[in-house]
Structure 1
Amino acid sequence: MTFSNATPYVALDVPTTGPDGHALVVAVVKATFDILPGGRIVPSDDPIPLRPNDIPLDAKNPNGSIVLPSDLCIEKHGADVIVLGDAVSKRRVESMDVAVRVKDRTVQLRVHGERRFTQGIAGVVMGPAVPFERMPIVYERAYGGMSEDLTLIEERNPAGVGVAKRKRDLLDRPAPQIEHPLRPHTDAGDKHPPVGLGPIMTHWLPRRAWAGTFDEAWQKTRIPLMPVDFDIRHNNAAHPDLQFESPLAPGDTVSVLGMHEDGVMSFEIPAFPVVVRGRFDGGEKVVERPVIDTLVVHPNERRFEIVARKAFRIGRGQRVLRELQVDLSF
């Protein structure tokens, strides 16, 4: 099968196998846009390549988080929104709020300076925060982690801080810096759901649960296919608060507060007139529009990337896919 790209965007054909065992090829298209003052959008002169793998925050830390997800999968449920960056203040502050608004949904976080657990009158509590002007928003600074003996693990964020068998085990240890404004961490007993704006790993909950059941029956009847109860939501990498039930579309509004020196950065998903043309044996042709299922915003760089994809059955016998072309369609 031949593959060609007649657009200014990055595109790739990815051969794979579907959950039902059929041979597929997925056309993946990525576009990168710069955000100019006033919210005007222009195609980037330095487009971001497609990522074949997740990008870890620290490649030397096997228990760490990822900062960017792989672009390769068959499909997603709805859409992922991921925001990679820092909380940014024009002056030194002990804490500040950041927010991401996509369409009609707003996700808010409160970001504190570095702080540790300390002994208070009522027990082990949060110590004072060190003032900051810029603070990375990563899962390592949110609630989570694991106890030293590994008997307790916050499976929604094993990379975080704050989990221990006994409260006193946390004394002088780093305390969560990133929290929901309405669910603050005040002492070592608080166990609020981990929060963040970045991607979660495939083995973290809730993502791992969507992978299905890898039991003896799977080994006997399905391997190497995915389990029968595999759910495509396993492919969604965004924090659950930033997963959307429907794909993204041109005109969808996006605003990011507190993650750039300008304060608020707003833009709309631009027109994306891309189609994928397929040709089968015998001359049969199809034209499909790939679905925008991923938005990654880089506030520090004032740019964002969108990823769209469409899967095609390769077929067999007298109906075999011979050609795919990514093209523009105005």
Structure 2
Amino acid sequence: MLQLKNTTPFQAGMALFPNEQGIDTLYITLKATFEIGKGLAVAAEQRPVVLADEYWGEPGVSSLKYASEAHLAKPATDVILVGEACAPDQRPISQIDVTVAVADRRKTVRVFGDRIWEGGLVGLRMTSPTPFERVPLIYERAFGGVHQAEGVALFEARNPVGCGFVGKKRKKEIEGMKIPNLEDPADLIGKPGDQPPPAGFGSISPAWEPRKSFVGTYDEAWQKKRAPFLPNDFNPRFFNMAHPDLVCKGYLKGGEPVEVVNASPNGPLRLKLPTCWVEASVQVMGKLEKPPLYLETVLIEPSASALCMTWRAALVCGKKAMKVEQVELLLQSLDVKGKAA
């Protein structure tokens, strides 16, 4: 009987399903939660592996809060921030830049207070942003949305739950429309018809672009030759759920610098990722296999004082899938040197 022996202080899970080539593969997941305080420490309460997508509201009409961690392997590390923009010293402001940087990935989002389009003498104009202390960093507040026009749904494929998408609306319909709170400082909205990339730090839903473009072709040929396996043109980048600007070039190793600015009431966060040497040992028909664990996700949640790191190992089993006897996870070393500032 297959057993999972987890000797680490972290949460673990495993699943057996076909890989991109349709070959039965054992996937092992290890998730570590660290508490952010004066420094970093292993959290007393470890977060479980997320088995299904969790949304901010109703699935399909709201954005992802936590993406499922039960899937095939990612080809690179995702960096994800869950949180809110916070005014320094809790003094209301009308706009602020929030920055997240991990290793060589750096992204800044400009956060404005609430604004709408209003009529003017020469056309529509923005109202001044309303001062705020906190604004949720969710895609509902970034550019996007849906417009039902003459029985046809027009929508922003990169973020259908957002705001600011005018579609074919007339001037009178645009008056009073909400303008996105979250914008790219290099591509700010200047007029109602602008369509900048949605700005954010959260997970991208599987039905949104650019993830949707990587899913492959499910046509008659696939139905006859490949179903129920993934199509030949499936791209593993589909499993990278972070904003495209926060998908790393490869896998992070641990020890990389982390900086988060204006996303915590406690001020800027500067530290280094913990360096964890974790090992997976799999016993298959009396033979020991050691598939490498790759760091797939770095999740930062300043408001919860939490940082999570998730690794995954994949062992192609094929016809030996039912002969896997035991999976053991070992923590060989842990170096937590980061200090919050």
TM-score in same-fold range (> 0.5): yes
Q: Label 1:198 to 1:67 Cα distance change in 2 as closer, same or farther (>3 A).
A: same
Say which of 265, 286, 289 aligns to 1:286.
289
In structure 2, how many angstroms separate the alpha carbons of the residues matched to 1:318 and 1:79?
27
In structure 1, how many angstroms separate the alpha carbons of the residues matched to 2:210 and 2:19?
22
SS at match of 1:63: coil
Q: CA deviation at 1:319?
A: 9.8
**Corresponding position: 1:243 with 2:247:** yes
In structure 2, how many angstroms separate the alpha carbons of the residues matched to 1:254 and 1:317?
41
Q: CA RMSD in A?
A: 1.6
SS at match of 1:273: strand
**Corresponding position: 1:49 with 2:52:** no
**Corresponding position: 1:134 with 2:134:** yes
Say which of 253, 257, 261 aligns to 2:261.
257
Q: CA deviation at 1:83?
A: 0.1
Say which of 199, 217, 222 aligns to 2:221.
217
SS at match of 2:140: helix
The residue number in structure 2 matching 1:67 is 65
Q: CA deviation at 1:188?
A: 0.6
Question: What letter corresponds to residue 284 of structure 1 in structure 2?
Answer: K
The residue number in structure 1 matching 2:337 is none
Q: CA deviation at 1:279?
A: 1.4
Say which of 302, 306, 315 aligns to 1:303.
306
In structure 2, how many angstroms separate the alpha carbons of the residues matched to 1:88 and 1:317?
52
The residue number in structure 1 matching 2:319 is 316
Query: How is 1:58-97 mapped onto 2 (pairs within 5 angstroms)?
Result: 58-59=57-58, 62-89=60-87, 90-97=90-97
Per-residue CA deviation, residues 59-105 of structure 1 (Å, 9 max, x unaligned), is 2x632111111111120021111100000012101111110111123
Say which of 151, 157, 160 aligns to 2:159.
157
In structure 1, how many angstroms separate the alpha carbons of the residues matched to 2:163 and 2:288?
54
Q: CA deviation at 1:317?
A: 6.0
Unaligned runs of 5+ in 2: 334-341
**Corresponding position: 1:327 with 2:326:** no
SS at match of 1:140: helix
The residue number in structure 2 matching 1:28 is 29
In structure 2, how many angstroms separate the alpha carbons of the residues matched to 1:53 and 1:125?
42
TM-score, with length taken from structure 1: 0.95
SS at match of 2:115: coil
Per-residue CA deviation, residues 167-193 of structure 1 (Å, 9 max, x unaligned), is 522211211111011211122122111
**Corresponding position: 1:172 with 2:180:** no
Say which of 198, 202, 213 aligns to 2:202.
198
SS at match of 1:152: strand
Report sequence identity in percent. Answer: 31
The residue number in structure 2 matching 1:269 is 273
SS at match of 1:219: helix
In structure 2, how many angstroms separate the alpha carbons of the residues matched to 1:153 and 1:317?
46
Question: What letter corresponds to residue 328 of structure 1 in structure 2?
Answer: L
Q: Label 1:228 to 1:118 Cα distance change in 2 as closer, same or farther (>3 A).
A: same
> Contact 1:126–1:188 at 8 Å: present in 2 too?
no
> Contact 2:31–2:308 at 8 Å: present in 1 too?
yes
Mean Cα deviation higher: 260-269 or 166-175: 166-175
The residue number in structure 1 matching 2:145 is 145
Per-residue CA deviation, residues 116-166 of structure 1 (Å, 9 max, x unaligned), is 111133322222211100110110111111112344211001011111213
TM-score, with length taken from structure 2: 0.92
SS at match of 1:288: coil
> Contact 1:313–1:321 at 8 Å: present in 2 too?
no
In structure 1, how many angstroms separate the alpha carbons of the residues matched to 2:294 and 2:252?
8
Unaligned runs of 5+ in 1: none
Mean Cα deviation higher: 200-209 or 265-274: 265-274
Q: CA deviation at 1:110?
A: 0.5
Question: What letter corresponds to residue 279 of structure 1 in structure 2?
Answer: Q
Q: CA deviation at 1:262?
A: 2.5
Per-residue CA deviation, residues 271-306 of structure 1 (Å, 9 max, x unaligned), is 21211001121x321223310110110011221111
Q: Label 1:181 to 1:173 Cα distance change in 2 as closer, same or farther (>3 A).
A: same
**Corresponding position: 1:228 with 2:227:** no
